[in-house]
Amino acid sequence: MRTPRSLPEGLGRAFHVRDAVAAGVGAGRLRRSDLGRPFHGIRTQPGDDDLDDDIDEDEQDEDPFARQARERLSRIRACVPRLRDGQFLCKESAAALWQAPLPLAMKDGIAIPGDRLPVHIGVFGTAPLVRASGIVGHRARAETTSTRIVDGIPVASPASTWASLGTLPLVDLVALGDYFCRAWREGPGRPDAGRPPLATLDQFRLAIGSGRRVGVVRLREAVELVREDSWSPRESALRCLIVFAGLPEPALNHDVYDSRGRFLGCVDLAYPERKLAIEYHGVLHHSRYARDVERIAALRAAGWTVIEVTAALFSDQVELLRRIRRALLG
């Protein structure tokens, strides 16, 4: 079999058939099996993985959340050439483009591959809804939805995106809000100090009150639980578990120093007055594991109690809460 002819560079990895034809690509070349067909009228060239350079590749392979997010984002970007004037990404697809943490989409107890999830496209007013296999169209109103441009792609703003997802479980909605409202504060080893948050709590409240919202009661409950100092959805879920159990709310990502002023580490959740730290361990790799072992040893040497929360312990919430209560009382 002959090697397929190279395509014009200007087409990109995902392109519309009409653009390829306008660039001189013949119909026969567009039918070749080396090109993917994710949507009607769209072709993708090999290697369209759109990996996020900020995520460790090993973690992507091992973490189902990261893997689904990567695949979902690749599918969304493959759909972008279909967008026409006035159309924009919305709902879960907007959240994915903002790289926000979404709950794992499941079917029959198994994570759905991200490249099989639908792409959500919104339109304003009476513009025709997008109707195509793999795409869900939504009608939006200007008073409840604002849009931005991200990497040249029109997308619902972070506050509009968050307020459109009121059907999510409460804890997932809080984690999503924590991500959008994260304040990038200064501190030892903290990245991107001074970077503005994607959204604010005031913008969330304005979005909730801008018109009718599906799940408005849950949105109102969630906005009161969103915090600016949570760094991951696992931390958000752990904080919610603690608060819902009636325990005092812990400080988030608290910097710890020893008696000589030496920085010992930043702990996920803390009760500084009790010198109690709660650390969530996700997927750990060799370099991170070694650093965490030394950091936790230094905290304990300085008189801190450290509760290390693995996925297994988090699933046993009765035992986890028992340990926290005992440490608070001790």
d(CA 11, CA 17): 10
> Degrees (nearest 5) of the Cα angle 22, 40, 107?
150
User: How many Cα atoms occupy the beta-carbon half-sphere of 294 within 13 Å?
Assistant: 7
Pair (152, 247) in one structural domain: no
Sign of the four-CA dihedral 158, 222, 202, 86: positive
Q: Is 247 exposed, middle or buried, given 0-12, 13-18 or 19+ CB atoms closer than 10 A?
A: middle
Q: Where are the beta strands (DSSP E) in the chain?
A: 14-16, 42-44, 87-89, 106-107, 110-111, 119-124, 135-140, 147-150, 153-156, 251-257, 263-271, 276-280, 305-309
Question: 235 in a domain, yes or no?
Answer: no
Give the model confidence (pLDDT) of 142-155 as tens digits.
Answer: 999 999 999 999 99
- Residue 178 to residues 99, 130, 182, 230, Cα–Cα distance (Å): 13, 31, 6, 6
Rounded Cα distance between 27 and 24, Å, is: 10
202 and 80 within one domain? yes
Residue 51 is assigned to a structural domain of this protein: no
* Whether the model pTM is above 0.85: yes
Structural domain total, the chain: 3
Q: Which residue range forms the structural domain that includes residue 39?
A: 9-44
My answer on whether 85 and 28 are in the same domain is no
Q: How many CB atoms lie within 10 A of CB 189?
A: 8
pLDDT 10s digits, 108-143: 999 999 999 999 999 999 899 998 999 999 999 999
Separation between Cα atoms, residue 280 and residue 55, nearest integer Å: 18
Q: pLDDT (tens digit, 9 = 90+) per residue, 196-221? A: 999 999 999 999 999 999 999 999 99
Asked if residue 171 and residue 74 are part of one domain, the reply reads yes
Whether residue 289 sits in one domain with residue 177 = no
In a domain, 95, yes or no: yes
Residue 287 binned pLDDT confidence (cut-offs 50, 70, 90): low
In a domain, 234, yes or no: no
Q: What is the C-alpha separation between 105 and 118, in angstroms, rounded?
A: 11
